[in-house]
Structure 1
């Protein structure tokens, strides 16, 4: 049985890897490091785009685990239909929580306190004083209450928010309190001053923030998206931004990368960062620890962690 492992980080830079596996370095280059048919554990190159991510998959007839280094797996999952049954797709839970939550707070504070206006004022040597909104006393709605959503709530704790409301695919109760279901959003949206998306992109969440969703948001509310661009209907958002009724802070967009000339670049009340929620100095050490742990389990014949789905075999 083959034990080739394809890694986008050189194996000698990762402490704790089991020695009995054969490691091949591949970070999306044109040439493959070995025959894809011999790969048993495939770690998807990070931030290389979906075309590179899935390029070797069709030939990986022996693969048993596909491991992403991203929290989302929507760029890989559609290409798994040709793989044998029983292949585990695992995400990078535990790698991006700190960085993504940190950026979510950065975008909220920068938007509410109008930091872009101060930067523009500095460029023009203008002293733009005045009163600006604070995060204190605001009601915050987190849509997508998984590990990243929980990490965002951790970082909201010192800011004296009036209320933090949690929403996920299905209702449940946590130590912090109730998590509401998506079906409750119509009643929750009008009460939220800040609406944060940290949900995966799925059939259920694609276009969730459509015209009807945005229309239910409170006047003056801030929409923050650190999830996936496709969660928000861009045309509907542009219409709301044009009227000035809500504002937005977006780390992800649809389309992405946002092309030059797109109206979202210059829409009123929008702050855009270039999908940098996870790409910080915190990434490498956490990614290496995840890979060492997953491959140790793999070498021991144990089930990997963070399994998102298991393939059912090629479809006709």
Structure 2
């Protein structure tokens, strides 16, 4: 942690360029109080998360998790329901909860497809949503209209547990709920109830707690795709974050302003 003691030992320090998504565990408010510049590579880390979310959305359109289970169970006698009403990726509504950095990237990635994209975010005005090419609606309307819902809200006191039983109950039968944000934003007891009943499906890269305890039914449900928080940068994607951090150092050396600064106030909103 770069606290007062660490800063005393580095009086010439000007820039703290973090090559990952959050700086919360690494810097103290003292850094800003002493005029240090702090940057992070969240913009780079958001790219694979948005790509992963897009993959979830497209697979949900094909009901891929359940079709895999049916094929594995029936084997050579399985026949896909090619005329299944509501399935496919040539239309229908996709709901994005939160116009965060990643939420906006997902909306951008969805543009080449034929979806009606709905957005729920109390900080976004209708004119801005129109500029993003999406329809701004309430959270309840988004849940009720969307065939696929993807959560991208930040962690704030007001967003913890923001998706509860009443919201999940609004989802259409057969809808898919995707979470690549944070598990704490969702009431997992309510989500588990819906998933065990088989009424909806889910793609969950994050849970609460993380990982889930041994024996949790979500591990084995055929309508749940559960992955261990791998949507963010891994493997060859890590270099993208390193390049961004190095770029911020280069900008400092040439007297340019950083492209991805972090404010002191933003610390409280970080995961």
Contact 2:120 2:142 in 1 (8 A): no
Q: 1 CA distance for matches of 2:17 and 2:143?
A: 35
Q: Does 1:164 align with 2:110?
A: no
SS of the residue 1:148 aligns to:
helix
- Paired with 1:118 and 1:177, the residues of 2 have a C-alpha distance of 32
Q: In the alignment, what sits opposite 2:244?
A: 290
- The answer to whether the 8 Å contact 1:101/1:149 transfers is yes
Which residue in the other structure is 1:151 paired with? 105
Change (3 A) 1:250 1:302: same
CA-to-aligned-CA distance 1:97-152 (integer Å, 9 cap, x gap): 33112211222233342434454535874453222521322201111223322222
Where 2:7 maps in the other structure, the secondary structure is coil
Which residue does 1:209 correspond to in 2? 163
Distance across 1 between alignment mates of 2:220 and 2:80: 24
Q: Which of 182, 191, 212 is the equivalent residue of 1:258?
A: 212
**In the alignment, structure 1 residue 192 sits paired with structure 2 residue 146:** yes
Number of the residue aligned with 2:232: 278
Aligned partner (choices 249, 273, 296) of residue 203 of structure 2: 249
Which gives a bigger RCO, structure 1 or 2 (Cα 8 Å, sep 6+)? 2
For the residue of structure 2 that corresponds to 1:219, the secondary structure is: coil
* Equivalent residue, structure 2, for 1:61: 7
**Which of 104, 111, 121 matches 2:60?**
111
Q: Take 1:266 and 1:59, find their aligned partners in 2: how far apart are those partners?
A: 49
Partner of 1:5: none
| 1:190 Cα offset (Å) | 1.2
TM-score normalised by structure 1 residue count = 0.67
Structure 1 residues 232 and 99: alpha-carbon distance in aligned structure 2, compared to 1, 3 A threshold: same
The SS at the match of 1:292 is: helix
C-alpha distance in structure 1 between counterparts of 2:158 and 2:36, whole Å: 24
Structure 1, unpaired ranges of 5+? 1-53
Q: Output the CA distance in 2 between the equivalents of 1:246 and 1:87.
A: 48
Q: Which moved more, 1:106-115 or 1:95-104?
A: 106-115
Q: 1:97 aligns with which of 32, 37, 46?
A: 46
Change (3 A) 1:87 1:310: farther
Which residue, out of 63, 70, 78, partners 1:128? Answer: 78
Name structure 2 gaps, 5 residues minimum: 267-271
Say which structure is richer in helix: 2
Divergent runs of 4+, >6 A: none
Shift of 1:294: 1.3
Query: Whose strand proportion is higher, 1 or 2?
Result: 1
Does structure 1 retain, via aligned residues, the 8 Å contact 2:65–2:224? Answer: no
Instruction: Tell me the distance in 2 between the aligned counterparts of 1:276 and 1:69.
Output: 17
TM-score by length of 2: 0.77
Q: CA deviation at 1:192?
A: 1.3
Pick closer, same or farther for the CA change 1:58–1:251 going to 2, 3 Å: farther
CA-based RMSD: 3.2
Matched residues in 1 for 2:48 and 2:226: separation?
Answer: 17
* Contact 1:143–1:149 (CA under 8 A) maintained in structure 2: yes
